Amino acid sequence: MRRPTLVVDVAAVGFCDCAGVRELNAAARRTRAEGGEFRLLGADESLRRVCELAGARDMLAPCLPPDPADLIRGSAVTGTPDPLDS
């Protein structure tokens, strides 16, 4: 069984400061606590720099776009139940 992965597409994000990175980092911690992986897709140079300065470089690991079969409600969450279905 593969590990669940949360992929957040940030390609359209125009601005993200340390507060935004803090929220992304919190989501990454929650995902990892459940045994999953967290990745950012499409981070531009400024977001990459803010993540690096905030010590969140691990979110920037190379990431391929998710398989469309894995998409749930616009999220690339695989292997985990959708919280909106409970």
Cα angle, residue 32 at apex, residues 46 and 10 outer, rounded to 5°: 25
Half-sphere exposure of 80 (CA within 13 A, CB side): 19
Element (H, E) at 6: strand 5-9
pTM greater than 0.85:
no
Q: How confident is the model at residue 23 (pLDDT cuts 50, 70, 90)?
A: very high
Q: Which of 37-46, 54-63, 64-73 has the lowest mean pLDDT?
A: 64-73
The residues near 23 (Cβ < 8 Å, ≥ 6 apart) are none
Does the pLDDT value for residue 75 go beyond 80? Answer: no
In tens, the pLDDT along 42-51 reads 888 888 888 8
Residue 84: the pLDDT is 47
The residues near 18 (Cβ < 8 Å, ≥ 6 apart) are 50, 53, 54
